[in-house]
Structures are given as C-alpha cells and as structure tokens.
Amino acid sequence: MTLTELGQSVAEQFQNVYSCAPKWVAAAPGRVNVIGEHTDYNDGFVFPMAIDRYTVIAAAPSSSKANRIQLRSTIGGAPANIALDAPFHPEKKGSWVNYPLGVIAGFHARGLNPGPFDALIHSTVPLGGGLSSSAALEVSTATLLETIVGKKLDPVEKALLSQKAEHDYAGMPCGIMDQFISVMAKKDHILLLDCRSHKTELVPMTDPSIELLIINTNVKHELTGGEYAKRRSECEAGARALGLSSLRDADAETLERARSKMSETVYRRAKHVIGEIERTLHAAEGVRASNWPTVGQLMYASHASLRDDYEVSCPELDAVVDIAQSIGPKGGVFGCRMTGGGFGGCTVALGQADKVAAISERITAEYEKRTKIKPTLFVSRPAAGATVLKQ
C-alpha cells in the first residue's frame, strides 16, 4: 500500500468513526538506525533512515460544543479527551495519549492553539519494536497541528518540540535522533546527523543491488526505561571523569589514559560511545563509496560493542546477528546489528537484493528454531519524512 492509499484508508476509517470526512490528514514515518547507537545524547553522530511505515492522523474541526480535542486510535480503546481550557498535565505513565498531548502542549506554549478538533490515529510502525513508533506519533501530531494552525515550524524546532513531548509527557529521556529523522528524512537517502551542531548531510542510498532488511525479534524486555536513563548518566559520569562536557570530545587514547579515574562500567560505556562515533563516520564514507563489505563489518563491530561494552543487547538480538553472520557474504549478507535503544526490538541487516528472499527464509527458520519465537521481517528503501496528505 502506498502512503497515499494509506492516507485514503485512514480517511475512510475517520468517516466511519466520526460520520464526516476529515479536513486534514498528516503522516510521519518510523525509522531504522543504520549505525550510531546511543551516540545522540553524547553529542555524537547518528546515521538513520526513515522506513515506509507511518503513523497517520486524520482530523476535522470538533463536532461537539466542548472545548476539547478528541483522539481515537484504530487500535481501539476509549477515546482520549484533552481539555483546552485547563492546564495540560501528563496522563498516567505508559499511556499513548502522552505523545500527542505533549506535542499539543508544546504548540500551546508557543501560542499556537489549534482549537477543538476530532482525530483518528492509525499506525503501520510496529509498536514498541525499536522503530520509533513514538517519534512517528509525535511528529505526525506536530505536522497535523502545523496544518491546522497554518504555521510551519522550523524543522529543527519541530523535532526538538517533539523530543520535549517525549521527555516531559512520556517520561523517556530520549536523544534527538528519532524525531529528527522522522521530520527530515528524504526518499533514497540516509541522514548523517551531527547531534551537537544539528548539521545534517543526506547521503544517497540508491544502489538497487543492496537492500536493508529489518528483522523484528518480537521480544521486548521490560528493562528499557530505567536502563536507558542509567546509560545516559554513566556516559555523563565518563565525560566528567575526562573533564569534558560530553564524550563527543574524547578519543580512545584519552580514555585509556584516564581509565583509573572511572569505574570499569563507566569505562566500557565510554569506550562504546567513542568507538561508535568513529564507526558512524566511517560507515557514512562507506555508503558514499558503495563499499558494502566495509559498512557491513562496521555494523557487526557496532553490535559487538553494544552487546559487550554497552550491554543493551539481549539473547534474541544476538541470535539474529549470529545467524546473519553465519550466512555471511557468500549468502548475500554484509552486516547486521541491533538497532534502536536495545533490550529487544529489531536488528537491521545489509544484504544483496537478489538474495534477500533466501536470507529472510534462513533467518526466520533458524531464529525460530533457536528461540521458539516467530520473527517478523521486511525490507525498506529509505523513505521520505513527515508529510501532509490532505489540507
């Protein structure tokens, strides 16, 4: 289904729910991070691309007299009503409403009031699979609100507003990668983002002989929230021990010299971040040069570092990477790594397009044999960022 068709289907569902056609429809994609994991909140580099999986929001001016926004999801459940004549407060932790609510609050804080409306949200981004379903929800909401209020935010401001929604309303102290890529992605490009300066470079990824295969382990270990914040503070401790404002300014030698000034854990976290920033820049060079074996090796190295030093992998992610590695270049696989925050979710593999079907079959069979879990696999070309489908 194309994005236009998806938009039409959500518009039809809106009509069924609210008995009128939507006036506005907006969409924002999920993402897969090719490399550069846990570097964004260390002022480092990341290298994500948008995938052709989207969160779509259809909306129309409110049919009720109440001064409120009504949000419904196609997943079902009770509608969420957001009062517009009272201060905004986060809903209870874990509620999906917090993501759009935080974005609506961010618009209000800028004096941008969309007024009462009814909305229906639908997503094809797997939820909680490490493909940024939350950023897609925030950014699609922001895109919808821009359309309603008739003012386009600067893309950096839009991404930061969405990130703030996640911090303040969803209680997740995420970095900037997911919201930036969902806003700024361009079809057939991977985004090299400097998380310190916010400078971006769109690196073309058009080689038809290469495919990125996303493999969802379909496990989600419930550690993520607390562990993520813990990694952030360990990185800050590492930077402090080095006398730096962030690990971005450190190199391997500086770290070795200062090893005795920090705990072994903090040392290993810093080692990952410093190495990963370098790997990300090398991988971008590799993509520019279509040097797929090198990009693949960097992906494996990234995974090993996330598993051993950063300790955010899990047996299921390791199993997929191990299977990919055993298929190897002869079988068409150049590289594979976990992607996103970790502790479950997805891996991303770089493979030969003409062998992707065979690779998928082998990974599925072997993964199921080892873990007794069925994985979900799909390929995606780099997709475009947030867009308005109807206004």
Minimum CB distance to ligand GLA, residue 269 (Å): 13
Which residue of 14, 18, 24, 41 would you call a contact of ligand GLA, by CB under 6 A?
41
Which residue of 22, 44, 175, 238 would you call a contact of ligand GLA, by CB under 6 A?
175
Contact 181, 385 (CB under 8 A): yes
Which residue of 3, 37, 124, 296 would you call a contact of ligand GLA, by CB under 6 A?
37
- 328-347 residues in contact with ligand GLA (CB under 6 A) are 340-341
Judged by CB under 6 A, the stretch of 87-95, 144-152, 173-181, 185-193 that binds ligand GLA is 173-181
Contact status: 14 vs ligand GLA (CB under 6 A): no
Judged by CB under 6 A, the stretch of 90-98, 152-160, 175-183, 373-381 that binds ligand GLA is 175-183
CA-based R_g, the chain, Å: 21
Considering 168, 178, 207, 309, which one is annotated as catalytic?
178
Distances (CA, A) of 222 to 97, 128, 177, 206, 242: 20, 11, 22, 37, 32
Distances (CA, A) of 366 to 316, 347, 373: 12, 15, 10
Question: What number of chain residues touch ligand GLA (CB under 6 A)?
Answer: 10
Tokens matching residue 38: 């846990």
Q: What DSSP line would sit under 120-176, residue for residue? A: EEEE-SPTTSSS-HHHHHHHHHHHHHHHHHT-PPPHHHHHHHHHHHHHHTS-----S
- 111-140 residues in contact with ligand GLA (CB under 6 A) are none
Tokens matching residue 169: 């309303």
Q: Is 194 a catalytic residue?
A: no
Residue from 304, 264, 297 nearest 282 by CA:
297
Contact 120, 58 (CB under 8 A): yes
Which residue of 56, 137, 177, 184 would you call a contact of ligand GLA, by CB under 6 A?
177
Judged by CB under 6 A, the stretch of 138-146, 174-182, 183-191, 319-327 that binds ligand GLA is 174-182
Tokens matching residue 74: 């196609």
Residues that bind ligand GLA (CB under 6 A): 37-38, 40-41, 174-175, 177-178, 340-341
Annotated catalytic residues are: 178
